[in-house]
């Protein structure tokens, strides 16, 4: 078992810089056993951060997480999310209770608003504060908030207790580097990068293959190493098989050179102006 580096949330609590995502898990009964086994294998290898949501598989992904974690709950940092349509004060409290039941736990380590909905932010934050006070969540954050929404949240009463913003971020989706990422970094708010390999769509790119060949690595490992080298970024790739988990974890040992980074910047240039926030 390896020890994965951590970074600090604004509260000072530590969070691993690498974890496992569960989007699209729980959608097929035929794949369920492999999905449980993959998460459990990741935990046995030292991957103690698991990201899920009430939306994934209509709650089934949370049940998969529960089955994979089993009696090792105290070793795991669990992230889950409330859907925007459930994000009123009352709705958030009820959604959290449902997630706790599916996860078979008494607390969620980090609870996120999945994306901005119609309920006022004040209601969602009031629910988050109540859940923290009750010990049902340890920290709260948001997902898919652009720079304008982050500024609004920051000015909302209680909004500066935010722990993270989880957004779509990878080599092909670098728009946040222009304004959102610097804004978060200035306030020591970590970015959680979901879909770090663009659901596999980037892996045939010639430049990724070129850099991977220099290191006897895979394109996925290069894409993940590019993210994990950055300060203040948590990376959460989905891996549905044991072999996939092992491949992704090995990216932590890959050290990209200045030449590699320059090559990747030429193929995937950083933004030169503000861009709308990407979402999947």
Residue pair 26/61 in contact (Cβ under 8 Å)? The answer is: yes
From 56, 111, 169, 194, the catalytic residue: 56
Helix (H, G, I), strand (E, B) or coil at 78: strand
Lookup: tokens for 6 = 């951590």
End-to-end CA distance of the chain: 33
Q: Rounded to whole angstroms, how far apart are CA atoms 149 and 237?
A: 25
What's the gap between Cα 79 and its chain centre? 8
What's the gap between Cα 113 and its chain centre? 13
194 belongs to the catalytic site: no
Lookup: tokens for 65 = 């997480």
Residue that the structure tokens 């892996």 belong to: 203
* Per-position DSSP letters for 120-169, written without gaps between them: -HHHHHHHHHHHHHTTSEEEEEEES--HHHHHHHHHSTTGGG---EEEE-
Residue pair 49/18 in contact (Cβ under 8 Å)? The answer is: yes
Give whole-number Cα distances, 147 to 118, 160, 179, 181, 278, in Å. Answer: 18, 14, 7, 9, 12
Lookup: tokens for 221 = 């490992």
Interior CA angle at 95 toward 126 and 64, to 5°? 135
Q: Which residue numbers are catalytic?
A: 56
């Amino acid at each position: 078992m390896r020890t994965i580096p951590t970074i600090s949330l604004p509260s000072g609590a530590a969070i691993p810089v690498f974890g496992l995502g569960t989007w699209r898990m729980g959608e097929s009964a035929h794949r369920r056993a492999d999905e449980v086994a993959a998460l459990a294998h990741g935990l046995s290898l030292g991957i103690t951060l698991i990201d899920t949501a009430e939306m994934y598989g209509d709650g089934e992904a949370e049940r998969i997480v529960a089955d994979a974690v089993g009696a090792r709950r105290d070793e795991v940092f669990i992230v889950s999310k409330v859907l925007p349509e459930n994000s009123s004060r009352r709705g958030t409290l009820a959604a959290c209770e449902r997630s706790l039941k599916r996860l078979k736990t008494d607390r969620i380590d980090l609870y996120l608003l999945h994306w901005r909905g119609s309920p006022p932010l004040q209601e969602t934050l009031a629910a988050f504060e109540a859940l923290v006070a009750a010990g049902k969540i340890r920290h709260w954050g948001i997902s898919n908030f652009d720079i304008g929404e982050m500024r609004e949240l920051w000015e909302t009463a209680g909004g500066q207790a935010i722990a993270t913003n989880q957004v779509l971020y990878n080599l092909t989706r670098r728009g946040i580097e222009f304004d959102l990422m610097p804004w978060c970094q200035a306030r020591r708010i970590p970015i959680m990068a979901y879909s770090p390999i663009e659901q596999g769509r980037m892996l045939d790119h010639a430049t990724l293959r070129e850099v991977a060949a220099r290191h006897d690595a895979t394109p996925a490992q290069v894409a993940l190493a590019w993210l994990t080298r950055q300060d203040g970024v948590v990376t959460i790739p989905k891996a549905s098989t044991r072999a996939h988990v092992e491949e992704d974890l090995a990216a932590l040992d890959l050290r990209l050179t200045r030449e590699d980074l320059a090559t990747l910047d030429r193929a995937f240039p950083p933004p030169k102006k503000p861009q709308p926030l990407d979402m999947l």
